[in-house]
Chain A
Amino acid sequence: MNALENIVFLSAALATVSGFYIQAQEYIRSMVRGQFVQAILIAATIFVLAFVESSIDLVVLGLLVLVLRGYLITELLERRIPGKGSDVKEKDIGIASHLLLDLVFIMIGTFIIYSLVFSRITFSIAGSIAGDTILVFPLALFFQGLFLIASRNSTFSQIIGYIEEENALVLFAIFLIPVPIIIEASVFLDVLALVVISSFVVLEKFTHNPMDELRG
């Protein structure tokens, strides 16, 4: 393992850890900032890989992540936080139980995918990284996004869960094979548009609970 490879591993791992940070926050603003940190970490990973592969496409991709995920989405979400912003929080969150359930969830998910897929196929990873196990991090992050959507009932948490999933996909794509930049850019714009659309819902309805009319 050389130093650059270590940096890639570390930043990918930290991106996964940032998922846990987001999961453990009660205050909406901290969650949004956690998403910001995650975007920065992913951009950093992309830049290191761009350096290793000396690829312009990856530099552009990194910049896109920085601008769209890091700046625009964070800004959009922070502006939509109702009231004073800094003191809006979700009620009744058991952090310890959330963390542990999240852990169980991603472990089961990752292990199932690992035993079904990775034990039989060996993927070759970008940036001449040995082995394909680095894909564990984006997978874990993806499952964290799913768990965040499933475990929380406020609009914000669910949007952030969705963005986390998309972040995981970016990470997954750059490790495996960078998708053509035009498609990746369209995907980013789609996600941005979806966040804009969701922010309309935020204005009207802050939490989402089961309803009698929508049962069965």
Chain B
Amino acid sequence: MHIFPYLIIAAPIIASAFYSLQPRAASIAAGIVDILLSMLIYFQLPFHNIFYVDFTSWIFLIMVSCIYLASTLYSLNYMKDIQARGISERTYYTLLNLFSASMFFTLLMNDYGFMWVGIEATTICSALLIIGEKNDVSLEAAWRYIILVSAGVAFAFISIILIFYNFHTLNVYDIIHSNPTDGLMGRIIVAIALIGFGTKTGVFPVHTWLPDAHSEAPAPVSAMFSGVLLPVALYVLYRIYQIDPFPLLYTWFAVVSIAVSSLFMAYQKNYKRMFAYSTMENMNMALLGFALGGVGVIGALILLITHSFAKSGAFFSSGNIMKSTGSKNMDQVSGLWKGMPWTSTSLVMSSMAATGAPPFGVFIGEFFILSMLAGRNIVQFSIVIFFVMTAFIGINYNVSSMVFRGSSDSREQGWLMAGTAIVCASISLLIGILFLGGYMNALV
């Protein structure tokens, strides 16, 4: 009898029942409980009943619970003094809890149908979070998020129906381990899922909601979106991909998406938008890893977990900067180093981490994926390496000019917000160093 999965899903839901009492304290408690439970579930791996948890989903569980707690902590100060609220503070915490619960639900269920339901539920719970800071633009961004993502995910339901038609079951474990034979049907399922769930993951032609939602949502919500929501959608995509791996299609979509996101990144004026495109690039890198299989999967997992901390750090830092300067435009932000040393540190660290500078974990992940790709397809390899470098230079140039150039009268916005940002950024460094250390030990 495995009780932990139930508890993991239940904790945030119980916390959201504290709507009128202590929503903040309850959310933090639920976050801590979820981290502990996710850690504990490691000792039962792997198991499958109505839940299916193996090492891969465990990594995702850790990611979601950690970023959930970090975002809740960051929200305490960030959401306190917002002038134009779209939703009340209590509603905000309730939705944040339900949002996390729906992500846990998606990760844990051993049923493709319920995974789809979970992904749709994440859209429902998170849509109103985008209008935490309400204005015309954030309303429009929220609407694009709702309609584009749900239209895309609806398309993915066709692949769920086809899975059920083909296997007469929706059980993830059984289907993956049954070594399906029907080539064309499997490919159709996998291809439809790529377009459907790819909408939520940020695959090129259907990614358009992504920069809008990330740039207009409040910073902790952007961190949740970028750090864990997109990976959760990627997880579902990966589970469907395992039915009948179709690397040709997936790698090309991923490579084109990486190229497009790097190109868009280059001329962004809004720093949150720039980070959103960076998220898109990283997600497609992870998709590339999953599509290649083997070492690529390990690379993708390292990349995802590091990226979730790094990108949360980046968005938290962006939130600090926005609170302090009141602008999302890079040209109006300068000389952060003088007034906001902690935020500057975390911003530089997390942007280095997100773009894959060594020794951060993303670098290790990208290294695994690219070394795998180099052996497979040299054309794709050269495209990816070129655009990854473009993105690296673009983001780090912009960030360093925000931080080091000129001067300003910006100030830190309290220890909690700066602290959360820097802790997240440090964890991404820590993962890289620990992994490298372990890897070296194993080599020796």
Direct contact of A and B (CB under 8 A): yes
**Could you tell me if A183 and B113 are in contact, using CB atoms closer than 8 angstroms?**
yes
Query: A31–B184 Cα gap in the complex (Å)?
Result: 39
Query: A200–B150 Cα gap in the complex (Å)?
Result: 16
B141 (CB) vs chain A CBs: closest residue: A214
B124 interface neighbour in A142, A149, A197, A216, Cβ under 8 Å:
A197
Query: A186–B141 Cα gap in the complex (Å)?
Result: 26
Q: Does B416 contact A (CB under 8 A)?
A: no
Q: Assuming the A-B contacts A149-B151, A205-B140, A216-B268, are A169 and B120 also in contact, with contact meaning beta carbons closer than 8 angstroms in the complex?
A: no
Q: Mark B356-381 against chain A: 1 for CB-CB distance below 8 A, else 0.
A: 00000000000000000000000000
- The dominant DSSP class at the A interface is helix
Q: Which residues of B contact A204 (CB under 8 A)?
A: 134, 139
**Could you tell me if A213 and B157 are in contact, using CB atoms closer than 8 angstroms?**
no
A121 interface neighbour in B127, B151, B154, B185, Cβ under 8 Å:
B185
Q: Mark B204-221 against chain A: 1 for CB-CB distance below 8 A, else 0.
A: 000000011001100000
Q: Which residues of A contact B151 (CB under 8 A)?
A: 145-146, 149, 161-162, 165
Q: Mark A72-105 against chain B: 1 for CB-CB distance below 8 A, else 0.
A: 0000000000000000000000000000000000
Within 8 A of B (CB), among A100-149: 116-117, 120-121, 123, 142, 145-146, 149
Which one, B6-14, B160-168, B296-304, is touching chain A?
B160-168
**Could you tell me if B147 and A149 are in contact, using CB atoms closer than 8 angstroms?**
yes
Tally of contact residues, B, Cβ under 8 A: 46
Within 8 A of A (CB), among B62-118: 111, 113-114, 116-117
Tally of contact residues, A, Cβ under 8 A: 41
Query: A176–B121 Cα gap in the complex (Å)?
Result: 25
Q: Mark A187-214 against chain B: 1 for CB-CB distance below 8 A, else 0.
A: 1001101100110110011001001011
Q: Which residues of A contact B168 (CB under 8 A)?
A: 177
Query: A95–B308 Cα gap in the complex (Å)?
Result: 47
A186 to chain B, nearest CB (A): 4
Q: Assuming the A-B contacts A120-B184, A187-B117, A197-B146, are A177 and B165 also in contact, with contact meaning beta carbons closer than 8 angstroms in the complex?
A: yes
Q: Does A172 contact B (CB under 8 A)?
A: yes
**Could you tell me if A197 and B161 are in contact, using CB atoms closer than 8 angstroms?**
no
B1 to chain A, nearest CB (A): 22
Q: Assuming the A-B contacts A172-B158, A194-B124, A201-B139, are A162 and B147 also in contact, with contact meaning beta carbons closer than 8 angstroms in the complex?
A: yes
Q: Which residues of B contact A146 (CB under 8 A)?
A: 151
Query: A145–B203 Cα gap in the complex (Å)?
Result: 22
Q: Does B431 contact A (CB under 8 A)?
A: no
Q: Which residues of B contact A208 (CB under 8 A)?
A: 140, 143-144
**Could you tell me if B165 and A197 are in contact, using CB atoms closer than 8 angstroms?**
no
Q: Which residues of A contact B161 (CB under 8 A)?
A: 169, 172-173, 176-177, 179
A210 (CB) vs chain B CBs: closest residue: B140
Query: A179–B117 Cα gap in the complex (Å)?
Result: 13
A22 to chain B, nearest CB (A): 15
Q: Which residues of B contact A180 (CB under 8 A)?
A: 113, 164, 170
Q: Assuming the A-B contacts A121-B185, A162-B154, A201-B143, are A179 and B124 also in contact, with contact meaning beta carbons closer than 8 angstroms in the complex?
A: no
Q: Does B420 contact A (CB under 8 A)?
A: no
B301 to chain A, nearest CB (A): 28
Q: Does A155 contact B (CB under 8 A)?
A: yes
Q: Does A158 contact B (CB under 8 A)?
A: yes
Q: Does B264 contact A (CB under 8 A)?
A: yes
Q: Does B142 contact A (CB under 8 A)?
A: yes
B135 (CB) vs chain A CBs: closest residue: A213
18 other A-B residue contacts (CB within 8 Å) besides A177-B165, A183-B170: A121-B185, A158-B143, A161-B147, A162-B147, A176-B162, A179-B113, A179-B161, A179-B170, A183-B111, A183-B113, A183-B117, A190-B121, A191-B120, A194-B146, A201-B139, A214-B140, A214-B212, A216-B211
Interchain residue pairs A-B with the least CB separation, the first 10:
A183-B113, A190-B120, A186-B117, A177-B165, A165-B154, A214-B212, A193-B124, A213-B137, A205-B139, A158-B147
